[in-house]
């Protein structure tokens, strides 16, 4: 199969990820921090190493500020439900994934918070001034995706972060589509909360992710339970990361994510992104002027490797099914868990066809897809 759905989950993983997870699972997969024997200590060391590596990678304020989560959605829920209080105001955008939108809308519909959604421009970019105008004296949090998972636009999070810091507002960034392909410096960008998965551009397995919590932010525990190191306190121990990390973490997944991070650092995020964007540009050039309509701007310098389009004649889900069944090509059709984006670009309710190459995708893969799409639209 030609796999071009890396915006959902990267595949294949670098070989070193499979090797690292297999070795760890066979030799060291004990419960971290729950005993003093060698295997448990080695498992705890793997988690500590992962925190140190992530802290260095995004220039965090300390490795203990990284909370391992089930995925990016888990990290976002932990942030929203741990930070927001009754009566708070939140600013977000129309580019957000449902992992941002749904918890916020649910809290707003319950009357717990008020919510303002800032619209993007025609190319899918948020104006920092629009964020500034939406902030009120009651604004507690601004939540913005770093890049749209539908049209790939990279947002000016550094400028938005500066505005939030000047207004003393907490700034949350959803880095699901960017960490690993776009450099992130949480201190320079004034990011207070950074949520990200391990299974996309960090090339770890599914079921991995993390939440970075800056020291200036107070987050209530969303999940409470065992921490291993302190079993005597009746409530969650206050020390980070254990304050927010109740229960046994996915240490095997973290080992895979760190092996993926090794690959990212060796290749560099800039190189990985350039390769994926180049392949998207190649597809666009071959299909420009065809029966397909593309969404989003064409400035490659402000995009990640995602290209989305639709046909007036064939619904996106049907195109996806034909590519899968007749051509053995995997893409992602539909609404991509981001309905507000589709409403903004006019592709709701059928959605778009999204193509997202990865580091192991080739020009030949793109050429095969282009030929298949020409054949489908010519029928």
- Cα(7)–Cα(180) distance, integer angstroms: 12
Cβ atoms 145, 177 nearer than 8 A: yes
- Cα(173)–Cα(213) distance, integer angstroms: 11
Residues 6+ positions from 128 with CB-CB distance below 8 Å: 156, 159, 160, 163
- Give the torsion sign (CA, 155, 156, 162, 167): negative
> 328 in the Ramachandran plot: left (φ > 0), alpha (ψ -120 to 50) or beta?
left
Residue 91 CA to its chain's centroid (Å): 19
DSSP-based three-state secondary structure for 30: coil
Terminal-to-terminal C-alpha distance of the chain: 23
Q: Which one is catalytic: 72, 164, 280, 337?
A: 337
Copy the structure tokens of residue 98: 């449902």
Buried b (16+ CB within 10 A) or exposed e, 23-38: ebeeebbbebbbeeee
- Name 369's bridge partners: none
Cβ atoms 369, 329 nearer than 8 A: yes
Nearest to 311 by CA among 298, 294, 299: 294
- Cα(205)–Cα(83) distance, integer angstroms: 28
Give yes or no: 201 in active site: no
Residues 6+ positions from 87 with CB-CB distance below 8 Å: 113, 138
Residues 6+ positions from 131 with CB-CB distance below 8 Å: 91, 118, 142, 144, 160, 163, 164
Copy the structure tokens of residue 52: 């140190």
Could you tell me where the beta strands, DSSP code E, fall in 149-215? 170-174, 193-197, 209-213
Which residues have a catalytic role annotated?
337
């Amino acid at each position: 199969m030609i796999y071009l759905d890396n915006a959902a989950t990267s595949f294949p993983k670098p070989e070193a990820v499979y090797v690292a997870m297999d070795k760890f699972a066979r030799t060291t997969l004990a419960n971290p921090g729950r005993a003093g024997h060698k295997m448990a200590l080695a498992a705890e060391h793997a988690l500590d190493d992962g925190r140190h590596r992530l802290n260095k990678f995004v220039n965090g304020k300390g490795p203990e500020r990284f909370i391992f989560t089930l995925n990016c959605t888990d990290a976002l829920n932990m942030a929203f439900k741990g930070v927001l209080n009754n009566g708070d105001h939140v600013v977000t955008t129309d580019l957000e994934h449902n992992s941002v939108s749904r918890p916020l809308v649910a809290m707003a519909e319950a009357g717990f918070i008020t919510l303002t959604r800032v619209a993007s421009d025609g190319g899918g970019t948020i104006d920092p001034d629009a964020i500034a105008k939406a902030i009120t004296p009651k604004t507690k949090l601004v939540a913005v995706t770093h890049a749209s998972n539908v049209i790939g636009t990279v947002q000016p999070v550094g400028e938005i972060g500066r505005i939030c810091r000047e207004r003393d507002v907490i700034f949350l960034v959803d880095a699901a589509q960017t960490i690993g392909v776009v450099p992130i410096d949480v201190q320079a960008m004034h990011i207070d909360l950074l949520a990200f998965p391990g299974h996309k551009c960090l090339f770890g397995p599914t079921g991995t992710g993390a939440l970075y919590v800056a020291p200036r932010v107070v987050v209530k525990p969303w999940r409470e339970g065992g921490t291993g190191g302190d079993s005597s306190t009746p409530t969650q121990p206050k020390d980070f990361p254990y304050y927010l990390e109740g229960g046994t973490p996915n240490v095997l997944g973290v080992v895979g994510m760190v092996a993926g991070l090794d690959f990212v650092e060796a290749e560099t995020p800039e190189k990985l992104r350039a390769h994926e964007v180049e392949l998207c540009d190649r597809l666009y050039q071959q299909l420009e002027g065809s029966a397909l309509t593309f969404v989003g701007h064409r400035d490659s310098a402000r995009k990640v490797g995602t290209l989305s389009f639709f046909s007036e004649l064939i619904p996106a889900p049907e195109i996806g099914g034909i590519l899968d069944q007749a051509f053995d090509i995997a893409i992602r059709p539909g609404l991509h868990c981001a309905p507000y984006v589709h409403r903004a670009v006019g592709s709701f309710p059928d959605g778009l066809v999204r193509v997202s190459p990865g580091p192991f995708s080739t020009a030949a893969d793109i050429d095969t897809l282009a030929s298949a799409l020409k054949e489908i639209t010519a029928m």
